[in-house]
Structure 1
């Protein structure tokens, strides 16, 4: 069965690798992670089986071409959750690993440290007020309220004060830590996207928002035709 995967690497925050394989997903990740030229192993952000991996991969690469770092590489400077939203149009089965695939303890420790550093987020830096409502990217019925602008445990979810990362991990059912800012959203952006945008002083115009919406609708149509 053909597989499309989205990989991330905490040594390269802000980038996602979009690829395909007809072999074992775990084997493919292991192959990519064994290179001594990268400081940290890859982790699987999302993976699913599809009917025609070559077609779906090509459509994704084409749709996000403006975010592609190098035309000879499969790396894109984009929030991985954006790719997931498009990939779900062609998905047959979600096969994202529920368990941690990082094997060496040294790699586990280094990955955890990098994840914790990237996870340092507060709502004030992102211009999100106390009491604001955020929602989960893959299920917008799952909502949380901002109860603290600076603390690690900054949201109330299902009646419990918790952190962005712990709540995201619980919803996803993973047995390993994740960056909650990749999954929780506010005003149409993941929190990680919003943080990066505001740190870079970027503001979107109405025309840019409309153009992005039109591009996504075209991608939906293209993938649906190829299913």
Structure 2
């Protein structure tokens, strides 16, 4: 039986998608795809995995669809469902699936990844990224590695040449060739070296991968999880205490600043032992939590336990309260 290869194709014309198919000769299939005049830009081959089974790409499609049917691109034409070999995922994510299957079956030698990017391919990829983000390639906030679960001491790889690695030094800086740099500064340095061109700004997370996933995709997943947690809480709701929360009782002075759990740019000032100031108005913590959550989720909330939605010095107010209660409990036990 002739060797078969499952392949990953990318195309700068639609950077959000990858094509996962099967061919005896992926390079020949690539040439056929690029002979078409239906796409503005050419397909690229990202990687392949050799198999000895016919229709192994269909099996892989079924596997992905079993996990989630949201990635497989589909469309309805004239009342008929149309599904092709395209998936809404990054090539790094698709490659990670190939890797895991190869590791499970002890066939990693059958993996092949195209590590070479030409200057033209890099420039086209950057143009596509910029179009996708409406030209916004520079981020005002530094990427925080700790926030997204990337420990100090681990390594990230340059998207366009995985042999180039940088070590995480702190929550926002990396080490490259003995020098401490921000992610954006390193991206600028490497891109100028690779292309000879310089942009006005660089969104650092778009140029590096961690465990095969582009950092900006990791950031997107975390943001999505936060939104999902809000949605879950909106269904459950939280009971409102009959007693008003007493800031002074747990050591939060009048005039202190509290931050909304789901958006730290939303801040309030404690006015008394039980009320806060928000946009010039005095309001209880529970009423404000209810108002903010209704605005954020688009759903009407019956009750909200105010301390569960705000932080004080990085600690959830309910946790501050529980620590105080725990201390009092221990002191009483000690008195006995």
Query: Cα deviation per residue 1:117-168 (whole Å; 9 max; x = unaligned)?
Result: 379364837655799746448x9xx66327796xxxx74235344329949x
Q: Structure 1 or 2: larger strand share?
A: 2
The alignment of Structure 1 onto Structure 2 pairs a total of residues equal to 184
* Residue 108 of structure 1: how far off its partner (Å): 5.1
Go from structure 1 to structure 2 and tell me whether the alpha carbon gap of 1:30 and 1:41 turns closer, same or farther (over 3 Å shift): same
Residues 1:4 and 2:27 are matched in the alignment:
no
Residues 1:68 and 2:72 are matched in the alignment:
yes
Structure 1's unaligned 5+ residue stretches are 171-178, 209-227
Go from structure 1 to structure 2 and tell me whether the alpha carbon gap of 1:27 and 1:72 turns closer, same or farther (over 3 Å shift): same
Partner of 1:35: 36
- Distance in 1 (alpha carbons) for counterparts of 2:124 and 2:145: 28
Go from structure 1 to structure 2 and tell me whether the alpha carbon gap of 1:22 and 1:85 turns closer, same or farther (over 3 Å shift): same
* Residue 47 of structure 1: how far off its partner (Å): 1.5
Partner of 1:19: 21
- Distance in 2 (alpha carbons) for counterparts of 1:189 and 1:98: 15
Structure of larger gyration radius: 2
Structure with more relative contact order (C-alpha pairs < 8 Å, separation 6 or more): 1
Residues 1:194 and 2:218 are matched in the alignment:
yes
Partner of 2:114: 97
1:41-120 pair list within 5 angstroms = 41-52=42-53, 54-55=55-56, 57-65=57-65, 66=69, 67-70=71-74, 72-88=83-99, 89-90=101-102, 91-99=108-116, 111=124, 113-114=126-127, 117=130, 120=137
Equivalent in 132, 137, 141 of residue 124 of structure 1: 141
TM-score, length-scaled by structure 1: 0.58
Query: Cα deviation per residue 1:17-55 (whole Å; 9 max; x = unaligned)?
Result: 1111102x2221122123222111112222132232523
Give the aligned CA root-mean-square deviation in angstroms.
Answer: 4.6
> Which stretch shows the higher mean deviation, 42-51 or 1-10?
42-51
Partner of 1:175: none
Partner secondary structure for residue 41 of structure 1: coil
TM-score, length-scaled by structure 2: 0.42
Go from structure 1 to structure 2 and tell me whether the alpha carbon gap of 1:15 and 1:43 turns closer, same or farther (over 3 Å shift): same
- Distance in 1 (alpha carbons) for counterparts of 2:41 and 2:170: 34
Partner secondary structure for residue 64 of structure 1: helix
* Residue 197 of structure 1: how far off its partner (Å): 4.5
